[in-house]
Amino acid sequence: MKRTFDLATSTDIFKHGDQWISQMNRLKRLGYRPDQCLIAAREPKDEADHRGEAYRQIREELVGNDFVWVDEKDTGKVVEFARLPESANFKLA
């Protein structure tokens, strides 16, 4: 999958977002979706077309489905999200 949501058209943004939504819903149904998911993305630069609105709609839908959404340049938030608690107890599935 592409690593950003700064795509050429609003249709591309919706398609990319729908891929994430579909795949995460499938993982959830199968019991494999992580408790927390992070998306680090870049908002479209040009607000003159419908890309910004498509980006916001996809972001809203994913955040509403328990995704954490951060700007891809905010490395502090990405690192904070990825930090493991000291009491982490892992098991292989």
Residue 28 covered by a domain: yes
Strand partners, 68: 38
Residue 5 covered by a domain: no
Give the domain range for residue 49.
Answer: 10-82
Q: How many CB atoms lie within 10 A of CB 4?
A: 15
CA–chain centroid gap for 32, Å, is 17
User: Whole-model pTM?
Assistant: 0.77
Q: Tell me the pLDDT of the chain (93 aa) as tens digits.
A: 455 788 889 999 999 999 999 998 999 899 998 888 899 998 887 766 789 899 999 999 999 888 899 998 999 999 998 887 766 666 666
Residue 74 covered by a domain: yes
Residue 25 covered by a domain: yes
Residue 91 covered by a domain: no
Residue 35 covered by a domain: yes
- Per residue in 8-21, pLDDT (tens digit) is 899 999 999 999 99
| Of 25, 15, 91, nearest in space to 58 by CA | 15
Domain count within the chain: 1
